[in-house]
């Protein structure tokens, strides 16, 4: 078996991968630049698998990928990059990469990927689908990386796609990305929110109508299916579609034909359907609110978009992007978020998801008094929002505490130190007492404080059960 090639200008990355491959007894060879790797290829050397960074001095990893795929199309190439944005994933897949590995990566994950690539190389099986995604979709969180990979593999496909996710999570952006980089890109992308159109008008909106089909139909009208001919039709909030229209949609997806309202001539639909919903369609099927056969027709490929609270590490990145976007639209200098403001935003749940964050950034661009946005510059209703639990926040409870301090400072609450200190001690002592079954001596030992201290704190903080616990423990203390 030929060696695995590692191409990266970062010596530490090369060293880690070399040690991991040596431990697995996998032959390997390293290069500090794409130029060196190309020289080895020109000299007649060929790897079994190639791992390459994207951004390197001189020629980039994507240029190396392009050269390799033009000369050795079957060679699996794994692209690595510390710039975990959608454009990198797109460029990698578009160039024919086997897989996309964002840095920092888990060594075991990298080895598993290399093994898969070796197996692919040994069997010379399957070409990588070309993809390209939209630069508006940003994210470094693992959940978004999975979305990027799914979009990357689907963009050149004609398959029906079902996108699920909470309202405001960016489902239409994904649909537009799938269309923009598909073979249908030069044809229309037509979007319709099936929940926003009255039931009586939805059929005409989708399929069009003939003149005189109903009162007020003075002329023939082309529906959304006809408008999207050759392109993509995006059906948003498909879970709210009335049952009778579900039947008509199923017929179109089944045999590719439909009729305008009042029409007798069948029309052929050459349209890729992408549907989206924030609802659980499986539950609606069980409740008899959504046709099971239509669900299976739509659920060919599913992409789930994570809520913003599931990808908190992306909030600073998205906020910078939206602040820059709003500034460009308004022709002003972009605002910047202070560290405290960033921490506070990261602590929030954002029930409106990415859309809510985008609207907030637009509000800040217009309303914040200075170029540096502090917690006190955020909308009052947002500052009064309770931060999420520390378990979901980057940095754990310390970040949650920092966000709470920022919130109280912004509201001008007096004696913040005393309030937070009392809360801190109350939680520690009550949890310790709960852990020891109310035995104060054991609780004090666990916390590293004296018995007299814990007794005094129980009384000062008004902890319920303190006296009872003290009485229960007196005999044991003798």
pLDDT score of 277 more than 60: yes
- At 304 the pLDDT is 92
Domain boundary among 360, 377, 394: 377
User: In the predicted model, what is the mean pLDDT of residues 251-275?
Assistant: 88
- Go through 134-150 and write b for each residue having 16 or more CB atoms within 10 A of its CB, e for each that does not: beebbbbbeebbebbeb
Cβ–Cβ contacts within 10 Å for residue 164, how many? 19
> Are 72 and 190 found together in one domain?
no
CATH of the domain at 449: 1.10.10
> Are 36 and 171 found together in one domain?
no
- At 134 the pLDDT is 43
Q: Is residue 396 part of a domain?
A: no
Model confidence pLDDT, tens digit, residues 378-417: 998 888 765 654 444 444 566 667 767 777 776 677 888 8
* Residue 93 to residue 9: CA distance in whole angstroms: 22
Q: Could you tell me which residue, 380 or 84, shows the higher pLDDT? A: 380
Q: Is residue 398 part of a domain?
A: no
Q: Could you tell me which residue, 122 or 277, shows the higher pLDDT? A: 277
User: In the predicted model, what is the mean pLDDT of residues 239-247?
Assistant: 89
User: In the predicted model, what is the mean pLDDT of residues 39-62?
Assistant: 87
User: In the predicted model, what is the mean pLDDT of residues 229-244?
Assistant: 91
- At 394 the pLDDT is 44
Q: Could you tell me which residue, 79 or 412, shows the higher pLDDT? A: 79
* Residue 146 to residue 143: CA distance in whole angstroms: 5
pLDDT score of 25 more than 70: yes
Are 429 and 466 a contacting pair, CB within 8 Å?
no
Q: Please, which pLDDT band fits residue 155 given cuts at 50, 70 and 90? A: low
Q: Please, which pLDDT band fits residue 86 given cuts at 50, 70 and 90? A: low
User: In the predicted model, what is the mean pLDDT of residues 228-257?
Assistant: 91
pLDDT score of 216 more than 80: no
* Residue 387 to residue 160: CA distance in whole angstroms: 39
Are 70 and 97 a contacting pair, CB within 8 Å?
no
Strand runs labelled E in 173-247: 189-193, 232-236
Q: CA dihedral defined by 102, 103, 109, 111, rounded to 10 degrees?
A: 100
Instruction: Report the largest interatomic distance among the alpha carbons of the chain, rounded to a whole angstrom.
Output: 98
Q: Is residue 427 part of a domain?
A: yes
CATH of the domain at 175: 3.40.50.300
* Residue 471 to residue 336: CA distance in whole angstroms: 57
> Are 258 and 359 found together in one domain?
no
pLDDT score of 444 more than 70: yes
In sequence order, which residues have a C-beta less than 8 Å from that of residue 209 and are 6 or more positions away? 217, 220, 221, 223, 260, 261, 262, 263
> Are 348 and 432 found together in one domain?
no
- At 48 the pLDDT is 92
The DSSP code for 81 is E
User: In the predicted model, what is the mean pLDDT of residues 106-126?
Assistant: 77
> Are 293 and 316 found together in one domain?
no
User: In the predicted model, what is the mean pLDDT of residues 66-77?
Assistant: 83
In sequence order, which residues have a C-beta less than 8 Å from that of residue 103 and are 6 or more positions away? 13, 80, 81, 82, 84
- At 133 the pLDDT is 36
* Residue 326 to residue 335: CA distance in whole angstroms: 9
Q: Is residue 472 part of a domain?
A: no
- At 246 the pLDDT is 92
User: In the predicted model, what is the mean pLDDT of residues 87-111?
Assistant: 75
User: In the predicted model, what is the mean pLDDT of residues 52-81?
Assistant: 85
> Are 262 and 185 found together in one domain?
yes
pLDDT score of 95 more than 70: no
> Are 44 and 73 found together in one domain?
yes
- At 471 the pLDDT is 39
> Are 17 and 82 found together in one domain?
yes
pLDDT score of 453 more than 80: yes
Global pTM reads: 0.56
- At 91 the pLDDT is 60
Q: Is residue 421 part of a domain?
A: yes
Q: Please, which pLDDT band fits residue 464 given cuts at 50, 70 and 90? A: low
Q: Residue 328, exposed/middle/buried by CB under 10 A (0-12, 13-18, 19+)?
A: exposed
Q: Is residue 36 part of a domain?
A: yes
Q: Could you tell me which residue, 257 or 73, shows the higher pLDDT? A: 257
Q: Is residue 214 part of a domain?
A: no
- At 5 the pLDDT is 94
Element (H, E) at 343: helix 339-346
Strand runs labelled E in 40-188: 49-53, 77-81, 99-102, 161-164
CATH of the domain at 331: 1.10.8.60
User: In the predicted model, what is the mean pLDDT of residues 24-46?
Assistant: 89
Q: Could you tell me which residue, 406 or 67, shows the higher pLDDT? A: 67
Rg, Å, the chain Cα set: 29
Model confidence pLDDT, tens digit, residues 300-333: 999 999 999 999 989 998 999 999 989 988 988 8
Q: Please, which pLDDT band fits residue 108 given cuts at 50, 70 and 90? A: confident
Give the mean pLDDT of the chain: 82
The separation between CA 51 and the C-alpha centre of its own chain, rounded to angstroms, equals 25
User: In the predicted model, what is the mean pLDDT of residues 463-475?
Assistant: 45
Domain boundary among 269, 302, 335: 302
- Range of the structural domain that residue 33 is part of: 2-130
Q: Is residue 389 part of a domain?
A: no
Domain boundary among 302, 320, 345: 302
Q: Could you tell me which residue, 66 or 122, shows the higher pLDDT? A: 66
pLDDT score of 68 more than 90: no
> Are 445 and 335 found together in one domain?
no
> Are 292 and 195 found together in one domain?
yes
Helices (H) and strands (E) in the chain, counts: 21, 14
Model confidence pLDDT, tens digit, residues 167-209: 999 999 999 888 887 888 889 999 999 888 887 788 888 888 8
- At 90 the pLDDT is 61
- At 388 the pLDDT is 57
CATH of the domain at 71: 3.40.50.2300
Q: Considering its fold, how many domains does the chain have in total?
A: 4
> Are 20 and 93 found together in one domain?
yes
> Are 292 and 363 found together in one domain?
no
Kindly report which listed range (67-76, 186-195, 227-236) carries the lowest average pLDDT score. Answer: 67-76
């Amino acid at each position: 078996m030929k060696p695995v090639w590692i191409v990266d200008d970062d010596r530490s990355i090369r060293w880690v991968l070399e040690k991991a491959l040596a431990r697995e007894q996998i032959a390997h060879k390293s290069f500090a630049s794409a130029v060196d790797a190309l020289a080895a290829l020109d000299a007649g050397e060929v790897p079994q698998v190639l791992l390459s960074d994207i951004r390197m001095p001189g020629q980039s990893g994507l240029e190396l990928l392009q050269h390799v795929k033009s000369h050795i199309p079957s060679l699996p190439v794994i692209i690595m990059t510390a710039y975990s944005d959608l454009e990198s994933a797109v460029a990698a897949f578009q160039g024919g990469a086997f897989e996309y590995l964002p840095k920092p990566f888990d060594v075991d994950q990298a080895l598993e990927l290399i093994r898969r690539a070796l197996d692919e190389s040994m069997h010379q099986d399957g070409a990588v689908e070309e993809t390209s995604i939209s630069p508006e979709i940003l994210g470094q969180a693992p959940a978004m990386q999975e979305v990027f990979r799914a979009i990357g593999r689907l963009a050149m496909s004609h398959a029906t796609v079902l996108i699920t996710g909470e309202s405001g999570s960016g489902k239409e952006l994904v649909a537009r990305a799938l269309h923009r980089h598909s073979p249908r890109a030069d044809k229309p992308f037509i979007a319709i929110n099936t929940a926003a159109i009255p039931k009586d008008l939805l059929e005409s909106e989708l399929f069009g109508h003939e003149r005189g089909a109903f009162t007020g139909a003075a002329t023939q009208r082309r529906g959304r299916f006809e408008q999207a001919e050759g392109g993509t039709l995006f059906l948003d909030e498909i879970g709210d579609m009335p049952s009778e229209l579900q039947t008509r949609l199923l017929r179109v997806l089944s045999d590719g034909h439909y009729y305008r309202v009042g029409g007798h001539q069948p029309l052929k639909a050459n349209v890729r359907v992408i549907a989206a919903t924030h609802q659980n369609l499986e539950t609606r099927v069980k409740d008899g609110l959504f046709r099971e056969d239509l669900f299976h027709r739509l659920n060919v490929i599913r992409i789930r978009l994570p809520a913003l609270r599931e990808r908190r590490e992306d909030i600073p990145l998205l906020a910078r992007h939206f602040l820059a976007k709003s500034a460009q639209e308004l022709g002003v200098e972009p605002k910047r978020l202070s560290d405290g403001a960033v921490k506070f935003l990261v602590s929030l749940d954002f029930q409106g998801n990415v859309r809510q964050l985008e609207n907030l950034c637009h509000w800040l661009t217009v309303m914040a008094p200075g170029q540096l946005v502090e917690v006190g510059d955020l909308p009052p209703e947002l500052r009064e929002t309770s931060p999420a639990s520390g378990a979901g926040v980057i940095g754990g409870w310390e970040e949650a505490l920092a966000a709470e301090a920022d919130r109280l400072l912004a509201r001008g609450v007096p004696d913040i130190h005393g309030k937070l200190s009392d809360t801190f001690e109350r939680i520690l002592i009550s949890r310790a007492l709960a852990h020891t079954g109310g035995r104060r001596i054991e609780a004090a030992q666990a916390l590293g404080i004296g018995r007299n201290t814990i007794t005094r704190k129980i009384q000062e903080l008004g902890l319920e059960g303190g006296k009872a616990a003290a009485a229960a423990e007196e005999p044991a203390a003798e």
